[in-house]
Amino acid sequence: MADASNDLLDVTAEDFETAVIEESFRRPVLVDFWADWCGPCKMLMPVLASLVESYAGRFRLAKVNSDEQQGLAGQFGVRSLPTVMCFRHGQPVDQFMGVQPESAIRAMIDRHVERPSDRIREQAIAKLNAGDVDGAVADLRSAVENDPDHHALKIDLAEALLAAGDAAGAEAQLNMLPIDVHEQEPVKRLRARLVFASRANGADPAALESRLRDNESDPEAMEQLAAAYMVAGRSQEAMDLYLKLMQRHRSYGDNAGQKGLLAAFEMLGPRHELVNQYRRKMVALLY
Protein backbone atom coordinates (compact mmCIF):
# COMPACT_ATOMS: atom_id res chain seq x y z
CA MET A 1 0.00 0.00 0.00
CA ALA A 2 1.30 3.48 -0.86
CA ASP A 3 2.87 5.64 1.83
CA ALA A 4 0.67 8.75 2.06
CA SER A 5 3.72 10.92 2.74
CA ASN A 6 5.18 10.28 -0.72
CA ASP A 7 4.71 12.99 -3.31
CA LEU A 8 5.52 10.85 -6.37
CA LEU A 9 4.60 7.17 -6.58
CA ASP A 10 3.38 4.39 -8.84
CA VAL A 11 -0.24 3.42 -8.26
CA THR A 12 -2.23 0.28 -9.10
CA ALA A 13 -5.89 -0.65 -8.81
CA GLU A 14 -5.14 -2.15 -5.39
CA ASP A 15 -3.97 1.10 -3.79
CA PHE A 16 -5.76 3.69 -5.99
CA GLU A 17 -8.46 4.31 -3.37
CA THR A 18 -5.91 5.10 -0.64
CA ALA A 19 -3.21 6.76 -2.72
CA VAL A 20 -5.48 8.91 -4.90
CA ILE A 21 -9.08 9.15 -3.67
CA GLU A 22 -8.41 9.43 0.06
CA GLU A 23 -5.32 11.60 -0.41
CA SER A 24 -7.26 14.01 -2.65
CA PHE A 25 -9.25 15.15 0.39
CA ARG A 26 -5.97 16.47 1.84
CA ARG A 27 -4.37 17.91 -1.29
CA PRO A 28 -4.68 17.70 -5.09
CA VAL A 29 -3.51 14.42 -6.65
CA LEU A 30 -2.37 14.43 -10.27
CA VAL A 31 -2.76 11.02 -11.89
CA ASP A 32 -0.47 10.52 -14.88
CA PHE A 33 -1.77 7.76 -17.18
CA TRP A 34 1.26 6.65 -19.22
CA ALA A 35 2.78 3.65 -21.02
CA ASP A 36 6.30 2.43 -21.73
CA TRP A 37 5.91 2.69 -25.50
CA CYS A 38 4.58 6.29 -25.34
CA GLY A 39 7.23 8.82 -26.40
CA PRO A 40 5.26 11.93 -25.32
CA CYS A 41 4.77 10.30 -21.88
CA LYS A 42 8.54 10.14 -21.46
CA MET A 43 8.82 13.80 -22.51
CA LEU A 44 6.18 14.87 -19.99
CA MET A 45 7.48 12.92 -17.00
CA PRO A 46 10.54 15.09 -16.21
CA VAL A 47 8.33 18.21 -16.27
CA LEU A 48 5.89 16.64 -13.82
CA ALA A 49 8.72 15.40 -11.58
CA SER A 50 10.23 18.89 -11.51
CA LEU A 51 6.88 20.36 -10.49
CA VAL A 52 6.54 17.82 -7.67
CA GLU A 53 9.85 19.07 -6.30
CA SER A 54 8.96 22.72 -6.86
CA TYR A 55 5.59 22.49 -5.05
CA ALA A 56 7.20 20.71 -2.09
CA GLY A 57 4.32 18.52 -0.98
CA ARG A 58 1.38 20.69 -1.97
CA PHE A 59 0.23 18.05 -4.46
CA ARG A 60 0.90 14.37 -5.11
CA LEU A 61 1.78 12.82 -8.47
CA ALA A 62 0.46 9.28 -8.93
CA LYS A 63 1.72 7.39 -11.99
CA VAL A 64 -0.54 4.75 -13.57
CA ASN A 65 0.92 2.41 -16.19
CA SER A 66 -2.07 2.12 -18.51
CA ASP A 67 -0.87 -1.13 -20.10
CA GLU A 68 -0.66 -2.84 -16.71
CA GLN A 69 -3.72 -1.08 -15.24
CA GLN A 70 -6.19 -1.20 -18.14
CA GLY A 71 -9.13 -1.36 -15.75
CA LEU A 72 -8.23 1.98 -14.18
CA ALA A 73 -7.64 3.59 -17.56
CA GLY A 74 -11.02 2.33 -18.77
CA GLN A 75 -12.78 3.41 -15.58
CA PHE A 76 -11.73 7.02 -16.12
CA GLY A 77 -12.26 7.09 -19.87
CA VAL A 78 -8.60 7.43 -20.87
CA ARG A 79 -8.46 7.39 -24.66
CA SER A 80 -4.99 8.78 -25.41
CA LEU A 81 -1.65 8.99 -23.66
CA PRO A 82 -0.42 10.78 -21.78
CA THR A 83 -3.56 11.86 -19.93
CA VAL A 84 -3.15 13.69 -16.63
CA MET A 85 -6.17 14.04 -14.32
CA CYS A 86 -6.36 16.16 -11.20
CA PHE A 87 -8.36 14.63 -8.33
CA ARG A 88 -9.74 16.75 -5.49
CA HIS A 89 -12.15 15.73 -2.72
CA GLY A 90 -12.56 12.28 -4.23
CA GLN A 91 -13.39 13.34 -7.79
CA PRO A 92 -11.52 14.15 -11.03
CA VAL A 93 -11.86 17.94 -11.34
CA ASP A 94 -9.44 18.84 -14.15
CA GLN A 95 -7.35 17.18 -16.84
CA PHE A 96 -5.16 17.60 -19.90
CA MET A 97 -3.93 15.30 -22.67
CA GLY A 98 -0.62 15.27 -24.47
CA VAL A 99 2.55 17.17 -23.63
CA GLN A 100 1.82 20.61 -22.18
CA PRO A 101 4.17 23.49 -21.34
CA GLU A 102 5.12 23.80 -17.69
CA SER A 103 3.22 27.10 -17.39
CA ALA A 104 -0.06 25.44 -18.42
CA ILE A 105 0.44 22.57 -15.96
CA ARG A 106 1.26 25.06 -13.18
CA ALA A 107 -1.94 26.96 -13.98
CA MET A 108 -3.97 23.76 -13.57
CA ILE A 109 -2.27 22.84 -10.30
CA ASP A 110 -2.71 26.37 -8.94
CA ARG A 111 -6.46 26.13 -9.48
CA HIS A 112 -6.62 23.35 -6.90
CA VAL A 113 -3.78 23.67 -4.37
CA GLU A 114 -4.61 25.25 -1.05
CA ARG A 115 -3.39 28.84 -0.70
CA PRO A 116 -2.84 30.76 2.56
CA SER A 117 -5.71 33.08 1.57
CA ASP A 118 -8.10 30.10 1.41
CA ARG A 119 -8.20 30.01 5.22
CA ILE A 120 -9.19 33.67 5.35
CA ARG A 121 -11.76 33.02 2.62
CA GLU A 122 -13.39 30.22 4.64
CA GLN A 123 -13.45 32.46 7.72
CA ALA A 124 -15.05 35.30 5.74
CA ILE A 125 -17.72 33.05 4.20
CA ALA A 126 -18.59 31.77 7.68
CA LYS A 127 -19.00 35.38 8.87
CA LEU A 128 -21.17 36.21 5.87
CA ASN A 129 -23.40 33.20 6.51
CA ALA A 130 -23.68 34.22 10.16
CA GLY A 131 -24.80 37.74 9.21
CA ASP A 132 -21.52 39.54 9.96
CA VAL A 133 -21.39 41.25 6.57
CA ASP A 134 -18.94 43.99 7.58
CA GLY A 135 -16.54 41.43 9.04
CA ALA A 136 -16.71 39.34 5.87
CA VAL A 137 -16.03 42.38 3.67
CA ALA A 138 -13.02 43.40 5.80
CA ASP A 139 -11.53 39.89 5.74
CA LEU A 140 -12.02 39.51 2.00
CA ARG A 141 -10.57 42.94 1.21
CA SER A 142 -7.46 41.97 3.16
CA ALA A 143 -7.25 38.60 1.39
CA VAL A 144 -7.60 40.17 -2.08
CA GLU A 145 -4.88 42.67 -1.25
CA ASN A 146 -2.50 39.88 -0.21
CA ASP A 147 -3.43 37.47 -3.02
CA PRO A 148 -4.68 39.57 -5.97
CA ASP A 149 -4.47 36.69 -8.48
CA HIS A 150 -6.90 34.49 -6.52
CA HIS A 151 -10.05 35.19 -8.55
CA ALA A 152 -12.41 33.34 -6.20
CA LEU A 153 -11.62 35.93 -3.52
CA LYS A 154 -12.82 38.77 -5.76
CA ILE A 155 -16.03 36.88 -6.50
CA ASP A 156 -16.64 36.32 -2.79
CA LEU A 157 -15.85 39.97 -2.04
CA ALA A 158 -18.33 41.08 -4.70
CA GLU A 159 -20.99 38.89 -3.09
CA ALA A 160 -20.24 40.30 0.37
CA LEU A 161 -20.31 43.87 -0.94
CA LEU A 162 -23.66 43.22 -2.60
CA ALA A 163 -24.98 41.84 0.71
CA ALA A 164 -23.74 45.06 2.33
CA GLY A 165 -25.72 47.11 -0.18
CA ASP A 166 -22.68 48.29 -2.13
CA ALA A 167 -23.69 47.26 -5.65
CA ALA A 168 -21.16 49.62 -7.27
CA GLY A 169 -18.33 48.10 -5.23
CA ALA A 170 -19.48 44.59 -6.13
CA GLU A 171 -19.54 45.45 -9.83
CA ALA A 172 -16.05 46.99 -9.58
CA GLN A 173 -14.69 43.71 -8.17
CA LEU A 174 -16.29 41.67 -10.96
CA ASN A 175 -14.93 44.07 -13.58
CA MET A 176 -11.39 43.30 -12.39
CA LEU A 177 -11.75 39.61 -13.27
CA PRO A 178 -10.22 38.21 -16.49
CA ILE A 179 -12.62 37.83 -19.41
CA ASP A 180 -12.68 34.02 -19.26
CA VAL A 181 -13.69 34.07 -15.58
CA HIS A 182 -16.77 36.15 -16.47
CA GLU A 183 -18.28 33.01 -18.05
CA GLN A 184 -18.16 31.04 -14.80
CA GLU A 185 -21.56 30.33 -13.22
CA PRO A 186 -20.91 32.18 -9.90
CA VAL A 187 -19.97 35.36 -11.80
CA LYS A 188 -22.97 35.15 -14.13
CA ARG A 189 -25.27 34.70 -11.14
CA LEU A 190 -23.75 37.70 -9.37
CA ARG A 191 -24.14 39.82 -12.51
CA ALA A 192 -27.82 38.92 -12.57
CA ARG A 193 -28.17 39.84 -8.88
CA LEU A 194 -26.58 43.21 -9.64
CA VAL A 195 -29.21 43.82 -12.32
CA PHE A 196 -31.96 43.16 -9.79
CA ALA A 197 -30.32 45.35 -7.15
CA SER A 198 -30.11 48.16 -9.69
CA ARG A 199 -33.78 47.78 -10.70
CA ALA A 200 -34.97 47.53 -7.08
CA ASN A 201 -32.95 50.67 -6.30
CA GLY A 202 -33.35 50.21 -2.55
CA ALA A 203 -37.15 50.40 -2.71
CA ASP A 204 -39.22 49.08 0.19
CA PRO A 205 -41.17 45.99 -0.96
CA ALA A 206 -44.03 46.84 1.43
CA ALA A 207 -44.44 50.26 -0.19
CA LEU A 208 -44.47 48.70 -3.66
CA GLU A 209 -47.00 46.10 -2.58
CA SER A 210 -49.24 48.90 -1.30
CA ARG A 211 -48.83 50.73 -4.60
CA LEU A 212 -49.91 47.62 -6.50
CA ARG A 213 -52.94 47.14 -4.30
CA ASP A 214 -54.03 50.62 -5.40
CA ASN A 215 -53.27 49.89 -9.05
CA GLU A 216 -52.55 46.23 -9.78
CA SER A 217 -51.58 47.00 -13.38
CA ASP A 218 -48.82 49.52 -12.60
CA PRO A 219 -45.97 48.11 -14.73
CA GLU A 220 -43.20 50.14 -13.07
CA ALA A 221 -44.24 48.96 -9.60
CA MET A 222 -44.53 45.37 -10.85
CA GLU A 223 -41.02 45.37 -12.28
CA GLN A 224 -39.46 47.10 -9.28
CA LEU A 225 -41.20 44.80 -6.80
CA ALA A 226 -40.17 41.70 -8.77
CA ALA A 227 -36.54 42.88 -8.65
CA ALA A 228 -36.83 43.59 -4.91
CA TYR A 229 -38.22 40.09 -4.38
CA MET A 230 -35.24 38.59 -6.26
CA VAL A 231 -32.81 40.56 -4.09
CA ALA A 232 -34.65 39.31 -0.99
CA GLY A 233 -34.55 35.68 -2.16
CA ARG A 234 -38.29 35.49 -2.87
CA SER A 235 -37.71 34.01 -6.32
CA GLN A 236 -41.08 32.40 -6.99
CA GLU A 237 -43.03 35.56 -6.12
CA ALA A 238 -40.65 37.54 -8.33
CA MET A 239 -41.09 35.26 -11.32
CA ASP A 240 -44.89 35.29 -10.91
CA LEU A 241 -44.75 39.09 -11.16
CA TYR A 242 -42.47 38.99 -14.21
CA LEU A 243 -44.92 36.60 -15.90
CA LYS A 244 -47.79 38.96 -15.10
CA LEU A 245 -45.75 41.87 -16.49
CA MET A 246 -45.17 39.89 -19.69
CA GLN A 247 -48.84 39.07 -19.96
CA ARG A 248 -50.21 42.57 -19.36
CA HIS A 249 -47.45 44.92 -20.55
CA ARG A 250 -45.39 43.16 -23.22
CA SER A 251 -44.06 46.44 -24.63
CA TYR A 252 -43.11 47.97 -21.26
CA GLY A 253 -39.35 48.41 -20.92
CA ASP A 254 -38.75 46.55 -24.18
CA ASN A 255 -40.34 43.40 -22.72
CA ALA A 256 -39.00 43.92 -19.20
CA GLY A 257 -41.00 40.93 -17.96
CA GLN A 258 -39.20 38.46 -20.20
CA LYS A 259 -35.83 40.11 -19.51
CA GLY A 260 -36.47 39.81 -15.79
CA LEU A 261 -37.32 36.13 -16.10
CA LEU A 262 -34.18 35.42 -18.12
CA ALA A 263 -32.07 37.22 -15.50
CA ALA A 264 -33.82 35.20 -12.78
CA PHE A 265 -32.96 31.95 -14.59
CA GLU A 266 -29.33 33.11 -14.82
CA MET A 267 -29.19 33.96 -11.13
CA LEU A 268 -30.81 30.73 -9.94
CA GLY A 269 -28.81 28.49 -12.26
CA PRO A 270 -30.02 25.79 -14.70
CA ARG A 271 -30.46 23.11 -12.02
CA HIS A 272 -32.78 25.11 -9.76
CA GLU A 273 -36.19 23.42 -9.43
CA LEU A 274 -38.11 26.58 -10.39
CA VAL A 275 -36.20 27.38 -13.55
CA ASN A 276 -37.65 24.71 -15.86
CA GLN A 277 -41.13 25.31 -14.47
CA TYR A 278 -41.07 29.04 -15.18
CA ARG A 279 -39.23 28.66 -18.46
CA ARG A 280 -42.17 26.59 -19.72
CA LYS A 281 -44.62 29.25 -18.53
CA MET A 282 -42.58 31.97 -20.28
CA VAL A 283 -42.48 30.01 -23.55
CA ALA A 284 -46.25 29.41 -23.34
CA LEU A 285 -46.81 33.18 -23.16
CA LEU A 286 -44.46 33.81 -26.08
CA TYR A 287 -46.06 31.26 -28.42
Please confirm, yes or no, whether 86 is among the known catalytic residues.
no
CB atoms near residue 102 (< 10 Å): 12
- State the pairing for strand pair 83-88/91-97: antiparallel
DSSP line for 255-281: THHHHHHHHHHHHH-TTSHHHHHHHHH
- CB of 65 closer than 8 Å to CB of 41: no
β-bridge mates for residue 86, sequence order: 30, 94
Backbone angles phi, psi at 32, to 5 degrees: -100, 105
**What gap in Å lies between CA 196 and CA 227, rounded to an integer?**
5
Backbone angles phi, psi at 12, to 5 degrees: -120, 175
- CB of 230 closer than 8 Å to CB of 264: yes
Active-site residue identified among 38, 93, 138, 212:
38
Please tell me whether the peptide bond between 219 and the residue prior to it is cis, using omega within 30 degrees of 0.
Answer: no
**What gap in Å lies between CA 142 and CA 144, rounded to an integer?**
6
Active-site residue identified among 41, 190, 221, 239:
41
- CB of 116 closer than 8 Å to CB of 147: yes
Q: Which residues contact 61 (CB under 8 A, 6 or more apart)?
A: 7, 8, 9, 29, 30, 32, 48, 49, 51, 52
Residues designated catalytic: 38, 41
